[in-house]
């Protein structure tokens, strides 16, 4: 370890057999660039508290931006932070010399609004079967520490899962140093740590903590208490095997990894998703909600309340899916559709992130840093009348402030991930003298461009007539695409003038737009 440490790292001495790490606890200080990763807010604070409560040695990054050097990537560690690998190896070897097998605990953040601790040990839980070739803990540690820790978090009233989204099995994931697969790595410290793993002399686990478990509040306190109690036995240090010796990767430390092959993802294509959109009562803003299958047994869901004061409340989650058409259950959300009747009954109870601005997703890290949690309860019932439009009855409670009413809403099929392959633009007019209607495509919808990718106005041409509108709310969302380039999804609210058409002078509606850009393009 260098005599002078970088200002972004905090180290801690301790007598525990646990070593705590927070690889992504820093912050990005420069302006955002497309493709930047989000640092794991508040993981440095949680890691510090765990280390202090457990009297554990710790390496806590509280300043380095992961976009400069990623402490959870083996390649970055070996290239940029050799001193940190050396210091970690020295701490591990010191515990091994004392006769104890250390447990490394990596604290990460999962930017979903779920009160869930997703535990990574290189394995996924497929029903009653564990799958994964490169586990990072011994079978004994899994049975004596990891499984009881998952149950303790659940018993505390929170959620916990094994490898639900982040199993820690990626080749360049720092957790995988402790699977044994890098025992011949070119970096001597990586190789030595991996050799100790093969000798059953060190274990490692990562904790991916959803937003409600990291933001200050009761859930975070309950989580820390459950983790501290769960790790007390491990903190004493698992005794080393009587005669530790390197074993083959295929039968490492009690795991028969030849049986841990992931099942095939081949199967029937999942159903199209559902999207519910509505302009709520006067002054109440808009509702954008949806669910979709992302695979044969996985799903994503979202509820966004776009408020007229410029703020918005968001719940977004990923989860397992039963595969039952029209039925989606996830982290406090219940969504049930009778497809042939297009009747939806949905409810949600849990935490939502409250952003002060609609442009939070332009720079998600900054948006999250300025957000807070609200306790929400929503109940919705939609019955289709014709052409995807129908009546929505709703009740919404945000931190005890209640609202309820009924309005015209649109329920349509498709999804952001599996619905439609090309650019699109759509407008749903839910309140007008001509009745509700939708228009889509460049021939019918023209946007008057504004600032930062948000339109200022919308011109639409439909059978019901021509309408000119101004945008009253806009939420832009950027996504990097796997094959390169990026996508911008923009949605919001608008008010329209019907010109000399009979009926009311104004109409209200919602819009969304999906655009694609290559890496070299500079979108407005």
pLDDT in tens, 448-500: 988 777 899 999 998 888 899 999 999 999 888 877 788 889 999 999 987 55
- In this prediction, residues 59-85 reach a mean pLDDT of 97
Residue 163 has pLDDT above 60, yes or no: yes
pLDDT tens digits, 91-106: 999 999 999 999 999 9
pLDDT score at 460: 92
Tens digits of residue pLDDT in 306-336: 998 899 999 999 999 999 999 999 999 999 9
As a whole number of angstroms, the distance between CA 183 and CA 171 comes to 13
Q: 9-27: b or e for each residue (b if 16 or more CB lie within 10 Å)?
A: bbebebebbbbbbbbbbbb
Paired residues of 515 in beta bridges: 488
Q: CB atoms < 10 A from the CB of 463, how many?
A: 8
Q: Which pLDDT score is estimated for 509?
A: 93
131, 263 Cβ separation under 8 angstroms: yes
Asked if residues 198 and 130 have their Cβ atoms less than 8 Å apart, the reply is: no
Residue of 275, 344, 283, 342 whose CA lies nearest to 304? 275
CB 293 within 8 A of CB 321: yes
CA distance linking residue 261 with residue 410, whole number of Å: 43
pLDDT tens by residue, 227-272: 999 999 888 888 888 765 656 666 566 776 555 554 445 555 678 8
Task: Give the pLDDT confidence score for residue 422 in this predicted structure.
Answer: 60
Residues 30-36 have a mean pLDDT of 90
Chain-wide mean pLDDT for the chain?
90
Tokens linked to 411: 């329920």
pLDDT (average), residues 207-214: 98
C-alpha–C-alpha distance, residues 294 and 418, integer Å: 7
Query: For residue 431, with 0-12 CB atoms within 10 Å meaning exposed, 13-18 middle and 19 or more buried, which class applies?
Result: middle
Which pLDDT value is given to residue 347? Answer: 97
Quote the CA–CA distance of 418 and 460 in Å, as a whole number. Answer: 27
Q: Which residue has the tokens 């699977």?
A: 179
Start-to-end CA span in the chain (Å): 47
Predicted local distance difference test score (pLDDT) of residue 518: 83
Q: What pLDDT shows up at residue 1?
A: 64
Question: Distance from CA of residue 330 to its chain's centroid?
Answer: 13
Of the pLDDT bands very low, low, confident and very high (cuts 50, 70, 90), residue 7 is very high
Q: Which two tokens stand for residue 298?
A: 């996985």
- Confidence (pLDDT) at 419: 43
pTM of the model: 0.92
- pLDDT of residue 502 exceeding 70, the answer is no
Q: Are strands 312-320 and 343-355 parallel, antiparallel or unpaired?
A: antiparallel
Q: Tell me the C-alpha distance between 338 and 331, whole Å.
A: 21
Partners of 124 in beta bridges: 131
Cβ-Cβ contacts under 8 Å for 79 (sequence gap 6 or more): none
| Predicted pLDDT of residue 284 | 79
pLDDT > 70 in the chain, percent: 90
Interval 373-390: pLDDT, tens: 999 999 999 999 988 999
339 versus 357: the higher-pLDDT residue is 357
Q: Are 253 and 275 in contact (CB under 8 A)?
A: no
Mean pLDDT on 281-286: 81
pLDDT beyond 80 at 222: yes
Residue with tokens 């019901």: 464
The CA dihedral of 152, 156, 161, 165, to the nearest 10 degrees, is -130
> pLDDT per residue over 112-125, tens digit each?
999 999 999 999 98
Which structure tokens are listed for 438?
């939708």
Q: What is the pLDDT of residue 421?
A: 45
Using alpha carbons, select from 123, 153, 296, 316 the residue that is nearest to residue 222. Answer: 153
Residue 242 pLDDT? 74
Model confidence at 339, in pLDDT bands (50, 70, 90)? confident
pLDDT of residue 99: 93
**Selection from 209, 234, 228, 215 nearest residue 158 by Cα:** 209
Q: 245-260 burial string, b = 16+ CB within 10 Å, else e? A: eeeeeeebbebebeeb
pLDDT (tens digit per residue) in 387-405: 899 999 999 999 999 999 9
**Helical packing angle, 218-236 and 147-155, nearest 10°:** 150
């Amino acid at each position: 370890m260098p005599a002078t440490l970088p200002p972004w790292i905090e180290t801690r001495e301790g007598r525990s057999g646990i070593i705590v790490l927070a690889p992504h606890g820093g912050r990005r200080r420069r302006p955002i660039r497309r493709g930047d990763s989000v640092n794991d807010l508040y993981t440095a604070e949680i890691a510090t508290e765990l280390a202090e409560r457990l009297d554990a040695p710790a390496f806590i990054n509280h300043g380095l931006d992961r976009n400069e050097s990623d402490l959870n990537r083996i390649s970055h560690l070996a290239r940029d932070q050799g001193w940190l690998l050396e210091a970690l190896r020295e701490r591990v070897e010191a515990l091994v010399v004392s006769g104890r097998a250390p447990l490394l605990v990596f604290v990460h953040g999962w930017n979903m609004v779920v009160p869930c601790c997703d535990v990574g040990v290189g394995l996924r839980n497929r029903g009653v079967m564990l799958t994964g070739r490169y586990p990072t803990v011994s079978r004994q540690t899994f049975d004596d520490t990891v499984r009881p820790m998952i149950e303790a978090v659940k018993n505390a009233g929170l959620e916990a899962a094994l490898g639900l989204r982040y199993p820690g099995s990626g080749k360049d994931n720092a957790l995988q140093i402790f699977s044994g697969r890098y025992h011949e790595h070119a970096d001597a410290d990586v190789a030595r740590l991996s050799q100790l793993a093969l000798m059953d002399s060190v274990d490692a686990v990562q904790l991916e903590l959803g937003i409600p478990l990291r933001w200050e509040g009761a859930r975070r306190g309950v989580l820390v208490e459950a983790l501290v109690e769960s790790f007390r036995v491990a903190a004493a240090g698992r005794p080393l095997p009587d005669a530790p010796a390197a074993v083959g990767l295929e039968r490492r430390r009690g795991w028969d990894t030849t049986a841990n092959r992931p099942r095939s993802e081949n199967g029937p294509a999942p159903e199209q998703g559902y999207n519910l959109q509505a302009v709520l009562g006067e002054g109440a803003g808009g509702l954008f909600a949806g669910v979709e299958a992302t695979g044969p047994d996985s799903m994503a869901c979202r509820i966004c309340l776009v408020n007229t004061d410029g703020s918005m409340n968001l719940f977004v989650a990923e989860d397992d899916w039963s595969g039952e058409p029209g039925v989606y259950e996830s982290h406090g959300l219940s969504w049930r559709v009778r497809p042939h009747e297009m009747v939806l009954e949905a409810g949600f109870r849990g935490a939502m992130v409250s952003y002060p601005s609609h442009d939070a997703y332009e720079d998600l890290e900054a948006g999250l840093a300025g957000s807070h949690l609200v306790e929400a309860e929503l109940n919705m019932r939609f019955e289709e009348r014709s052409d995807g439009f129908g009546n929505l009855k709703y009740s919404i409670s945000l931190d005890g402030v209640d609202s309820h009413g009924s309005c015209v809403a649109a329920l349509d099929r498709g999804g952001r991930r599996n619905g439609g392959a090309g650019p699109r633009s759509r407008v749903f007019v839910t309140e007008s003298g001509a009745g509700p209607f939708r228009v889509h495509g460049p021939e019918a919808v023209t946007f008057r461009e504004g600032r930062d990718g948000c339109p200022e106005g919308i011109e639409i041409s439909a059978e019901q007539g021509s309408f000119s509108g101004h945008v009253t709310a806009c939420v832009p969302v950027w996504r990097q695409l796997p094959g390169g380039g990026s996508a911008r999804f923009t949605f919001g609210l608008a008010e329209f003038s019907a010109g000399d058409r009979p009926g009311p002078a104004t109409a209200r509606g919602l819009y969304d737009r999906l655009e694609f850009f290559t890496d070299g393009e500079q979108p407005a």
